[in-house]
Amino acid sequence: MTRIAVLKREQMNAEQGKVFDDVKAEGGPLGGPYWAYIRFPKLMRLVQDVSSCLGQGGLTKRERQIAIMAIARFWGAEYPWSVQTRSALALGIAPEIIYTINAGGTPTLADPREKMAYDVALELLKNHKLSDATYASASKLFNEKELVSLIGTVGQFSMTCLTTIAYDCTPPDDVPHRLTW
């Protein structure tokens, strides 16, 4: 059960309501970590803007999504995993790839950029750094802006995961994919 009460729109103060309405109009997410972020409307606005900016950093949607799946799995973040699995399937990411990431395995990714997005995200999280070899390989596949976007996504989405873990955000009932332990 989620530790933080989910505020209804009518319970929000003027600043919270404006940010909520703006994010909703933009089609941005309003669940999970945003249940907490709305308590600090400026943070909610900034988090939404950073996520949107990183999504425009040159990575394909699939590359970014594969990195996000690796991040959610690394942190064991139930809410993001379940919601992002739906997004991954919509992008055509094969269920076998999702299942392998969920099981803690290394997925077989034919596209070298997708594989590198996965490898960079996981290496940063597990080792707290990138080896010279991984950095050199990533620099050959991604231009500078794309690599900054990928590394930024690791940090930004880790914040999302940690927020949902801290507040024990319960995944929606309509998502069938859960983390396995």
Q: Which structural domain, as residue segments, surrounds residue 85?
A: 61-166
Q: Does residue 117 form part of some domain?
A: yes
* Encoded tokens for 137: 């390989």
Q: What pLDDT is attached to residue 13?
A: 97
| CATH code, 120 | 1.20.1290.10
Q: What pLDDT is attached to residue 177?
A: 65
Q: What pLDDT is attached to residue 65?
A: 98
Mark whether 71 and 42 lie in a shared domain: no
Task: Give the predicted TM-score (pTM) of the model.
Answer: 0.93
Q: Along the 181 residues of the chain, how does pLDDT read in single tens digits?
A: 689 899 999 999 999 999 999 999 999 888 899 999 999 999 999 999 999 999 999 999 999 999 999 999 999 999 999 999 989 999 999 999 999 999 999 999 999 999 999 999 999 999 999 999 999 999 999 999 999 999 999 999 999 999 999 999 988 777 666 776 5
Number of compact structural domains in the chain: 2
Mark whether 76 and 140 lie in a shared domain: yes
Q: Does residue 49 form part of some domain?
A: yes
Q: Does residue 173 form part of some domain?
A: no
